[in-house]
Structure 1
Amino acid sequence: MIPYDFEYYRPASVAEAIRLYGGLEKQGKSPVYYSGGTEIITLGRINLVKTGAVIDIKHIPECQVLGFEQNRLILGAGLSLTKLEEADPFPLLSKTAREVADRTSRNKITLGGNICGRIFYREAVLPFLLADSQVVLAGRDGIKRRSVHDVCNGNLRLDKGELLVQLLTERSYLELPHVSIKKRKQWETGYPLITVAALRKDDRIRVAFSGLCPFPFRSVELEEELNRRHVPLKTRVDQAVRRLPSPILNDIEGSAEYRIFVLRNLLEDVMEEMEGK
């Protein structure tokens, strides 16, 4: 049970959700958007999240879209990871999402909830970083589209009260050669040590990471080192590791040194597999 009371709202439109947030914020309710609710419940139980109002976006039609418009895949932020896995419109996303928590949790965890969550893993964003996707955001200034890199590459950059509504991905990226590998310290559904997703486009390999730093990221500079095909692979990996952002996580799941050790082996495996496809 969450050890405090809160008000519950279920808007029927994006505009209503934004209006509710603004009004509740002025009342000092510290509102939060709610889609799957797993993080609110988990962190609320230990008082890491405290709110006077939740705004449930699951019933907003735009947040439940799953389909194509011309040559673009549109995914609503309110879609559960299980639904995305079963529909499988973006195989790399399906493979990455399949490794998040267990199936019971994935039935509730939503795409937007995972990407915008406080827990720093946020693996579901990795395929979108590799595919140069766009995000549709709603806020006090209306609806806008932005590059996923501007919003989700590294620390999350959303204005207060801004709502992630959809993610847009060009069809040409969806069936490209790809790989997603998640390494855990223990158990099949424990927190990840490192997740690496990779995609090959125009004979160049792109890589994105979760669990290595306190944010998911993709680094073009790191990719440049990995794609120097004339250089031995171990040397490329060594040079790529030098391009990592900081800080490297150092926690109960694994020390920074251990994470780097695991990363080196992962990058060698990923590059050997991707260069062979």
Structure 2
Amino acid sequence: MIPFDFEYYKPSSVQQAVELFQYLQKQGKNPIYYAGGTEIITWARTNAIQPGAVIDLKAIPECNAMDMRKDQLVIGACVTLSALSEANAFPLLSESAQGVADQTARNKITLGGNICGNIHYREAVLPLLLANSRLVIAGIHGRREVSIHHVFLQQMRLENGEFLVQTLTNRAYLSLPYVHYKKRQIGNVGYPLVTLAALKIDNQIRTAYSGVCAFPFRSVEIDRSLNDSTLPLTARIAQAVGKLPAPLLHNTEGSASYREFVLKQTMADAVYLLQRR
């Protein structure tokens, strides 16, 4: 149960949502946007957040889109991870989504909620980083379309009052050779020690990671090391691990040293498989 009262709104258009946010903010309501809501509900139950108003985005048609338009796959921010997996329009994204939480949670967790959340993992963002996807963002100044690399820097960097409307991914990335690994300490449900997603394009391997550091990331420097065919694979991996953007996580899922061991093995598996495709 959430231990405080709040106002609930469900606009039917992007413009209504933006205008509502501005109005409610001026009223001192501390509004937040809501898609799947799993993380928001968790934080609210512990009083970590106390919004006076919630703006539910699920009635906005653009936020529920999932179709091809010209040469782009358009996915709305309110599409659930279960729906993504079932549609399988972008197989790597579908597989990444399927690895998040359990089926019951995936029925509620949305693509936008996973990308814009605050937990370390946010695994659904990895394929979008690899595919250089673009994001449609709405706010008081209208809509803007930007590269994911300009706004996802360890986490989503949105302006006050903005929200994610859609992701756009070029058709060329949808059918590329890929691998996806999610390594846990025990079982098939729970947070990862290491999640690695990778694509092969123009004979080069691109990799992205979750669970390794305190945020999901893609690193050009790591990929440069892994693709350096002048070195043996073990040396490439050692060099790549030395270029991590932050310290390895050390938590209940595993120690930093154990994570490094699992990461090296997972990198080796990914490179070995993709080099043969």
Shorter-chain TM-score bucket reads over 0.9
TM-score, normalised to structure 2, is 0.97
| Counterpart code for 2:99 | E
Q: How does 1:3-152 map to 2 (within 5 A)?
A: 3-152=3-152
| Counterpart code for 2:107 | N
Name 1:252's counterpart in structure 2: 252
More displaced stretch, 147-156 vs 95-104: 147-156
Name 1:175's counterpart in structure 2: 175
The answer to whether the aligner puts 1:199 opposite 2:199 as a matched pair is yes
| Counterpart code for 1:217 | F
Name 1:235's counterpart in structure 2: 235
Per-residue Cα deviation, 1:37-95 (whole angstroms, up to 9, x for no partner): 11111222122222111100001011011111111110000101111111111000001
Cα 1:105–1:68 change in 2 (3 A) is same
Name 1:223's counterpart in structure 2: 223
**Does the residue aligned with 1:192 lie in a helix, a strand or coil?**
coil
Residues in 2 aligned to 1:50 and 1:266: alpha-carbon distance in whole angstroms: 40
- Where in structure 2 are there 5+ consecutive unaligned residues? none
Q: CA deviation at 1:186?
A: 2.2
| Counterpart code for 1:67 | D
Residues in 2 aligned to 1:105 and 1:80: alpha-carbon distance in whole angstroms: 10
The answer to whether the Cα contact below 8 Å between 1:153 and 1:216 also exists between their aligned partners in 2 is no
Name 1:188's counterpart in structure 2: 188
Q: CA deviation at 1:115?
A: 0.3
Q: CA deviation at 1:191?
A: 1.3
Residues in 2 aligned to 1:79 and 1:120: alpha-carbon distance in whole angstroms: 21
| Counterpart code for 2:15 | A
Residues in 2 aligned to 1:274 and 1:19: alpha-carbon distance in whole angstroms: 47
| Number of residue pairs aligned between Structure 1 and Structure 2 | 277
**Does the residue aligned with 1:123 lie in a helix, a strand or coil?**
coil
Identity of aligned residues (%): 54
- Where in structure 1 are there 5+ consecutive unaligned residues? none
| Counterpart code for 1:35 | A
Q: CA deviation at 1:110?
A: 0.4
Residues in 1 aligned to 2:49 and 2:65: alpha-carbon distance in whole angstroms: 28
The structure 1 segments of at least 4 consecutive aligned residues displaced by more than 6 Å after TM superposition are none
Q: CA deviation at 1:153?
A: 3.9
- Alignment RMSD, CA only? 1.0
| Counterpart code for 2:240 | A
The answer to whether the aligner puts 1:274 opposite 2:274 as a matched pair is yes
Name 1:2's counterpart in structure 2: 2
The answer to whether the Cα contact below 8 Å between 2:116 and 2:155 also exists between their aligned partners in 1 is no
Residues in 1 aligned to 2:151 and 2:247: alpha-carbon distance in whole angstroms: 19
TM-score, normalised to structure 1, is 0.97
Residues in 1 aligned to 2:228 and 2:17: alpha-carbon distance in whole angstroms: 48
Q: CA deviation at 1:247?
A: 3.1
